[in-house]
Amino acid sequence: MVHASREEVGLRVRTRGAWWAGLLTAVGLFGLAGCMVGPEPGSPAVRMPRHWNGALAPDSSPVAVPTSQASVVTTAPVDVVSYWNKFHDPELNSLIDRAVKQNLNLKLAAAQIRAARASRVMSASGLFPNLSQSGTYTRSFSGEGASVTNGTVIGKSNNPTDMFQYTLDASWEIDVFGGLRRTVQAADLAIHAQVWNRRDVLITLLSEVATDYITLRGYQEQIAIARQNLEAQQRTADLTRRRQRGGFQTGLDVANADATVASTLSAIPPLEQEAQQTIYALSLLLSVPPATLQSELSPVLPIPPIPPEVPIGLPSELLRRRPDVRNAEFLLQQQTAQVGVAIAKLYPSFSLTSDGGLRGNRFGNLGEWSTRFWSFGPSVSWPILDFGSVRSGIELQSAQEEQALYTWQATVIQSLTDVENALVAYTKEQQHRQALAEAVVANKKAVELSTLLYSNGQTDFLNVLVAEQSLFNSQNSLVQSNTTLATNLVALYKALGGGWEGRDAPPPVTTPPNLPTLNIPDLLQLSPLPKLSSGPNGQ
């Protein structure tokens, strides 16, 4: 028998290793370039309205007020980037800047993005070979009979036996049908969804800070007006007492005057409570203790004025800008990719495994040729009988994709409704405000005339009381309307999806649309999802 030399054995091993390495590379490249079963994620198609129902032409103001006081909604290109700057209030700008840096919900959303990115890395690792190493040492003893250890027969011995082993294991699942790539695709889409979720949290935070700040200034103005009216009503009550002492008035007029003063005084503590709690609400949005903003926000400042023109663009722009719509869109695409992951389980799974290393009964001999061992081979796994588990999994993922589609459709409709509601609220409140402004002017004149006539004894005290109470009510209502008008504008900016653009940029979207079309004017006829195929590439 002719024995090969060590050099010949080494040559054969290297030749076989090169052959297997070439085969492994070829199969791996086939897997990476192979088909992906299941439907391809895409952006759903939708037919949006051509114009906003509540939008007005630039030359048709909704209120009959001077141009300097009207705020006109136009369909000019939308301008909602850092919309809070349009109120020209440095304190509001400062609060928003700090809220963006400090708000805990926003930090939570950012942490969810980082978690999604880490999950994507974990998913992508399955596309590449897995290599691990291990080392073992065992000491055994057999007093009677014989034993077999690692293929070596050991007879009866009174001496313990040592065994040292170092192993290098490698495995690679070849993604022939794209199940792993669909998993990575779903992870990528999950990252996009989390990015848009953070933007949704951001615009909600911005609108809440702006709304609470405007509301606080409204309460402060109401308190100031109540105190001004209280001083005027106290002067009237003093005048009534003087006239009573002169015999010109009865005690009934004095009692009515005192009752009016007490009624106005009673309105101040609830307003102070609301103002204080609004400061606490702003502190919560900035994630600071409640009393932190007390000294900063206690000084009275006016309600921020609204801009003279509000461009809102076209409905077609809404789908690309609203974070909740984009989030729902990417969640739908993610679920579509999960359908492909489930379909891939219908097909066989191919893997390449190998191991090799050193094994001997003496640690110092592990470097010798005789202590080396290796093994290599492909494997295939294909379920034969699973009692419908795989197909039920496909049905489950398909049903969840359908749910995601309906969620996206509902989100689109809700976004359109939000804008239209905000538009009608903003334009109609301007009409309300103008009427109240005219009422304040008339009531001031009525108070002046009734007080003058009462001082001259030409009218009774009831007319003075009615005029003063009407003035207080109309002034209070006007402040409330100014507050509502400004907060309605904030709500409109939020409905348009404004505010996040100045903070970060949206991720690119390159996936082609291939999902059903949602026809907004005909909401009762939503298209069902297409039937999913279990073939490659959804064919």
pLDDT for res 34: 59
pLDDT band with cut points at 50, 70 and 90 for residue 358 = confident
pLDDT for res 55: 76
Neighbours of 469 (CB within 10 A): 17
* Residue 16 scores a pLDDT above 80: no
User: Which residue ranges make up each domain of the chain?
Assistant: 1-33, 38-129+176-230+274-350+394-519
Q: How far is the C-alpha of 133 from the C-alpha of 154, rounded, in Å?
A: 28
Are 366 and 164 in contact, with CB atoms under 8 Å apart?
A: yes
Q: Which residues of 403-422 are buried (b: 16+ CB within 10 A; e: fewer)?
A: ebbebbbebbeebbebbbeb
* Residue 145 scores a pLDDT above 90: no
CATH of 38-129+176-230+274-350+394-519, one of 3.40.50.300, 3.40.50.150, 1.10.1060.10, 1.20.1600.10: 1.20.1600.10
* Residue 512 scores a pLDDT above 60: no
Q: How far is the C-alpha of 537 from the C-alpha of 208, rounded, in Å?
A: 46
Q: What is the pLDDT of residues 194-235, one digit of tens each?
A: 999 999 999 999 999 999 999 999 999 999 999 998 998 898
pLDDT band with cut points at 50, 70 and 90 for residue 336 = very high
When pLDDT is averaged across residues 131-149 and rounded to a whole number, the result is: 72
Q: How far is the C-alpha of 38 from the C-alpha of 182, rounded, in Å?
A: 9
Q: What is the pLDDT of residues 370-386, one digit of tens each?
A: 778 888 888 888 888 88
Neighbours of 210 (CB within 10 A): 27
When pLDDT is averaged across residues 175-191 and rounded to a whole number, the result is: 92
Q: Which of 4-18, 36-50, 522-536 has the lowest mean pLDDT?
A: 522-536
Residue at token pair 């007390």: 294
pLDDT for res 534: 38
pLDDT for res 154: 54
DSSP string, 392-404: HHHHHHHHHHHHH
pLDDT for res 531: 39
pLDDT band with cut points at 50, 70 and 90 for residue 460 = confident
Percent above pLDDT 70 for the chain: 80
Using CA atoms, how far residue 291 sits from 205, 249, 326, 360, in Å, is 20, 50, 37, 73
**DSSP three-state, residue 161:** strand
Environment class of residue 534 by beta-carbon count within 10 Å: exposed (0-12), middle (13-18) or buried (19+)?
A: middle
For the entire predicted model, the pTM comes to 0.80
- The alpha carbon torsion through 250, 256, 258, 262 (nearest 10 deg) reads 170
pLDDT band with cut points at 50, 70 and 90 for residue 355 = confident
pLDDT for res 222: 95
* Residue 149 scores a pLDDT above 70: no
If you average pLDDT over every residue of the chain, what do you get? Answer: 81
pLDDT for res 60: 43
pLDDT band with cut points at 50, 70 and 90 for residue 135 = confident
pLDDT band with cut points at 50, 70 and 90 for residue 245 = confident
pLDDT for res 235: 87
